[in-house]
Structure 1
Amino acid sequence: MPSVRFWILFFLPFWAQGQIVHQPLDGLLAVSGELAELRNHHFHSGVDLRTGAVTGKNIYAVADGWVRRIVIRPDGYGWALYVDHLSGYTSVYAHLESFSPELWAYVLQEAERRNAYRLDLYPAKGSLPVVGGQVIAQSGNSGASGGPHLHFEMRDRESEEIMNPVALGLLIPQPRVRPELWAKQDGRWRKIADSASVNNWYDLALTLPEQGFEVKVSDSLRSIWSLQQWSFDVQRGADAGLALDLHSQQGIRGFHIHPSPSQPAPGWKLKQAWPKSSGTYSLSVNSGGSPIWAGRVRVAQPNPGSTQAPRSMSDGDWSLEFPAQCFGMAQNIIISANGSKIGVKPDVAAIKPVTYSWTPSKLADSLWDKAYLAVRDGRGSAKIPGSLSADGRIVFTSKTCGSAEVRIDTKGPQCELLRRDPSGRVWISVRDELDSEIVEITLNGKWIWGHLDLKSNFMYADAGITKGKLVVWVRDEVGNLTNFTTEL
């Protein structure tokens, strides 16, 4: 394992600084997701560490400190811990299955006191101390996780900006896969050959931009991209540089090597002017100090693009509002309304929320608060509850820009008893066209703990060995409520 040994020796001096003094998992760490990877609508904010496709692995505090925040939610990071350290950093552990007994006792007490199953707790500073190497949790697959793993982050404690954990002592092997340069020629993206002929500079994209890259044109350094520290409010910058049709054609995420006019993320360390005249240019791309590609590129129309001005559009019963710099560059958006549906072209990624407004011509007053927007772009979909405006419109604020449809949901979640396992957990299926949440669970009138997993549509209630009446209240995003009762 020479690459692992080099990594350990290279970062050994950081250990003395007390930043990461113990690794978060046992054994050699294996990575399934790198820092700053291009994801759907965001840069990956941490490092995903493999847990052998199973849950229940011990998670260790990486240094002395105190628990700053504890989160339990059915989406996002799921079960997560935030630990502050004297070094000025915060370590984050997400998609957990459970907490240590000491932490769980505090969480359970607070959950019952608040009558809540979705928690965001901030213990008093120093009230829940930890030491480096202490078991603080078990790994899991909670929240928006695609499989068992540990999502690990290091943040600046004051600004909460995302930091590179490798530079602070996380011992992971160097990436073995190197970036590749792709070119769009005649409307199709292909891995670039010895030379290329493209329409404009945005027809060139690099995979694995999280490893950083620099671009020279005609032997002059034009751009450097390296995202090592950033705040969560610029996460949509991933969409500002994403080569959308490369992803739709090849299933590959690539990043434009030419800076977009609007880029909220601070990754561009250098943005010199690129040639604006058509012609053939020498081009070279390096990453990590190594050459990725060098050759000749003919550019027909090297248009650098412009920033997006604020814009409002209307058609039929619909209107859309795009804020300034909503996209990485100005787009010619076309909309077409048809009743409760709205078509939006082309497929573009928004880096600021878009406001959809629908004024229904025929909709009973009792149904207005049951409306939600089902919107889809080339990378995914979202369902967004609406709000009623004073002038009779139903308004939806969407981070996804794409064709959409208003749907009405008047039914509460459907619940079905599945089983009671040997530990006393009662498992219940909860299904709805929208996301659901637990409102309350009681056993013989007494509050008990439970949790809903939105990926599987399963929830559990910790009934133990007690017999009697189990009552579960669940609610969907537009307020439809279901009461499920069963005898144990």
Structure 2
Amino acid sequence: MQLGFRSLLLLFVLTGPVMAQYQPPLSGPLLVTGTFGELRSNHFHGGLDFRGPVGTPVRSVAAGYVSRVVVSPGGFGQAVYVSHPDGKRTVYGHLEVLSPEIKDTIRALQYETESFSIDFRPDSTAFPVTAGQVIGGVGNRGFSFGPHLHFEVWDAATETRLNPLSLGFTVPDTRRPTVSAVRVYQLSNDGNVLGSKTYSVVSTPLPDTLIVDGPRVGLGLQAIDRQNSLPNRNGIYRARLLADSMEVFGFTYDRIPYVKSEYVNALTDYAEYQRTANWYYRLYAPLPEAAFWETSSSVTSPGTIDLTRQGVREITIIAADYAGNESVFRTVLKYAPPEPATDSRPATAGYQYFLPRGEESIVDTAGMRLELAADALYTDLRFSYVRLPESSAGYLSDVHQLQDRETPLHGSATLIIAPDRVLTNRQRQAAYVGRCNKDGSYGSMGGEWTADGRMMAEIGTFGDYTILMDTVPPRIRIRDFRTDLRGRSSFSLLVDDAVGGTLDYRAMVDGKWALMEYDAKSGTLTYTFEDDRIAPGTSHEFQLRVTDARGNSSEFERTFRR
């Protein structure tokens, strides 16, 4: 009886008059530049992006209290989290400014901890807010590449992100989704892609009949959506696949559990994205746990089309946006087995290890050990491994080629590499596990030494890895820092590192810690004269020390007058 009451209450909250409690986070027309569920690298977009000038007031969409404030060099930059009585939590990211009462508290914490980065979680009595109360201003902080508000809605109890449009916001949209291409995948019995064929539908219609040479196929869709008067290429809200008028697969982006977001790599054509940066929605699910949406069809069918018996299936594909605008495509799939091959020579295996999905796997060689968790693979994997000798300067081991970049890895894997020589203490300190990128650059995975003298790191993708050395200190450059700062509101410097990764820094003015705000995407460190901590009318000594993950440091000093 209690469960029924809770279910009824939840239904009322999601569809009933309670919606009237929510108001938009920005005044005026809502200009959506990023949709909920939009496809992003390694995750689904968890909210809506609203375009707006820097400083535009951001308002709490309902009554509640500020339950978290995060300040960081990346991510959302500055974000405010508001908890509401109905169990929802709203998030306001990339804020340029915070409301005065929040800012004062954050500033005090930053000076108390001598840290720019803050993760503050006040209790429910510290910062109550009313519906429409200003909590900050639109900005471009963190990993944002244009001024906007990133807005999320969470079901706090289940850590599930909800589509913010379900709150009833008005976003004019009369434009149908644009479908660029339909792709047909030939699948093996274990779900691996054996081949594919793409049909562009930009200037020509989809053919009436698509001939396939395999009995088991999946379909993919390249599609975007645009709201009225905006050019942004946003993600679609819903797709359905019908075979002989029966729905065999469909998704609707109403809710995305936080722990499921990385399944974007299973539900899209990961290999195509790695090759060309083009997204294809898969209209089939390679494994049940990837399908997080709640539709009966996704539970009963993985979306693959079996042509073994009938040989022919009528197919309908529907792409839709939240406003209900649809683009519909129809065709017929026909199975035509290819002629038997005349060359009877056996095919080369092309792999060294068979790694089954759903089981922990270990690949252990003389110089490398790779440990995969049970959920690391989306399909059974015929794993290719090649050890490439490398003696160039800066390399401390051979290069280990792990499968390829076009094979998705869910979560992370543990990689352990042995150096190819006895290392000095300086070499050990400077060493890191590096990923060799396609453009010839390197990415640092960090790493630490094991008791038996090997280097261990967590990796998030397959590819080419080795042990490298980083002996180059970070670079510090002047962006806007005059010796005479009278009448100026701030000064700034640029910092970067050849290898990348996390940079630690400490700034001092007259021997006291100074708050330098760090924007990781641009490498900018900025000091703003907000008070009289640095007294006007006198000379001051500024010192900055920047250290990379391998302990390499650079220093900068300057005397200035305020």
**Match of residue 434 from structure 2:** 374
- Within a 5 Å distance, the mapping from 1:424-443 to structure 2 comes to 424-432=489-497, 433-443=499-509
* 8 Å Cα contact 2:178-2:327 kept in structure 1: no
Amino acid at match of 1:313: V
Check conservation: 2:19, 2:168, Cα contact below 8 A: no
Structure 2 counterpart of 1:213: 239
Shift of residue 30, structure 1, vs aligned partner: 0.8
TM-score, normalising length: structure 1: 0.87
Moved more, 58-67 or 240-249: 240-249
- Aligned position for 2:330: 294
Deviation per CA, 1:153-183, whole angstroms, max 9, x where unpaired? 0111333320111112333233734153512
**Which string of whole-angstrom CA distances, capped at 9 and with x for unpartnered residues, describes residues 192-222 of structure 1?**
6223234552353353574122222233321
- Equivalents in 2 of 1:129, 1:156: separation in Å? 19
What CA distance in whole angstroms lies between the structure 2 residues aligned with 1:439 and 1:42? Answer: 30
Q: 2:417 is matched with which residue?
A: 358
2:213 pairs with 1:204: no
1:155 aligned counterpart, secondary structure: strand
Task: Report the TM-score when normalising by structure 2.
Answer: 0.76
SS in 1 for 2:165: helix
Q: CA deviation at 1:125?
A: 1.8
SS at match of 1:201: strand
Contact 1:438 1:451 (8 Å CA) reproduced? no
Which of 315, 324, 347 pairs up with 1:283?
A: 315
Q: Which moved more, 1:106-115 or 1:413-422?
A: 413-422
- Please identify, of 33-42 and 237-246, the stretch whose mean Cα deviation from structure 2 is larger: 237-246
Shift of 1:390: 2.2
Q: CA-to-partner distance for each residue in 1:203-250, whole Å, 9 max, x for gaps?
A: 533535741222222333212212322222211110011113443566
Q: What corresponds to 1:482 in structure 2?
A: 554
| 2: CA distance, partners of 1:128 / 1:103 | 8
Q: Percent identity?
A: 22
Offset at 1:295? Answer: 1.2
Shift of 1:268: 6.2
- Please state whether the residue corresponding to 1:222 is helix, strand or coil: strand
Which of these two proteins has the greater Rg computed from alpha carbons? Answer: 2
Matched, 1:135 2:123: no
Partner of 1:446: 512
Distance in 1 (alpha carbons) for counterparts of 2:24 and 2:305: 47
Distance in 2 (CA, whole Å) between partners of 1:268 and 1:334 is: 36
Indicate which of 348, 358, 367 corresponds to 2:407. Answer: 348
Tell me which residue corresponds to 1:3: none
Equivalent in the alignment of 1:259? 285
CA-atom RMSD, angstroms? 2.9
Matched AA of 2:259: D
How far, CA to CA, are the matches of 2:508 and 2:37 in structure 1?
A: 43
Q: Does 1:104 align with 2:103?
A: yes
1:324 aligns to what SS in structure 2? coil
Letter in 2 for 1:357: I
Q: Indicate how the Cα distance of structure 1 residues 154 and 20 shifts in structure 2: closer, same or farther if over 3 A, else same.
A: farther
Counterpart among 363, 367, 371 of residue 313 in structure 1: 363
- The one-letter code sitting in structure 1 at the alignment partner of 2:383 is I
Change (3 A) 1:202 1:386: farther
Matched residues, number: 470
Q: Which amino acid aligns with 1:157?
A: A
Residues 116-127 of structure 1: pairs in structure 2 closer than 5 A: 116-127=115-126
3-state SS, counterpart of residue 241 of structure 1:
coil
In structure 2, C-alpha distance between the alignment counterparts of 1:392 and 1:19, rounded to whole Å: 62
Moved more, 78-87 or 429-438: 429-438
Q: What SS does the aligned partner of 1:238 have? A: helix
Task: Give the structure 2 partner of residue 183 of structure 1.
Answer: 183
Report the Cα distance in structure 1 between the residues aligned to 2:428 and 2:247, rounded to whole angstroms.
56
Gaps of 5+ in 2: 1-13, 186-194, 225-234, 338-355, 389-396
